[in-house]
Amino acid sequence: MKEIFFVGAGGMFGAILRFLIVKIPFINSSFPFNTFIVNMIGCFLVGILIKYSSISNKELSHLINNFLIIGFCGGFTTFSAFSADSINLLNESKYLLFLSYMISSSVVGILFCYIGINIIK
């Protein structure tokens, strides 16, 4: 139950921060800079946290994983979870699975988003 609380609390803070960053007017452009920035910050942060978690004691590692990686980064951006899963596949030398995951997640994700938008009329 404690793990669920930490994931939920981290997710709440991540989602709030994402909301605030997306509202900041950066550049007047068609390119979604705010979302891009959120995704890149999340990927960078999850990389640091994965490394720090791997060298931490078990209790701190669980806290980092539940509150910061799954909760905060997951609430901040799911792209960071996608990136972490991709890195895990590379670290396990599962190159074909890595390529399959990368391509299918991108293509199918965009396709499903398109279908979802167009199914509701």
**Per-residue model confidence as pLDDT tens digits over 33-66:** 888 888 888 889 988 998 888 888 988 999 999 9
Whether 83 has a pLDDT exceeding 90, the answer reads no
pTM of the model: 0.74
CA pair distance 70, 6, nearest whole angstrom = 9
**Per-residue b or e along 24-41, where b marks 16 or more CB atoms closer than 10 Å to that residue's CB:** eeeeeeeeeebeeebbeb
pLDDT reported for residue 5: 95
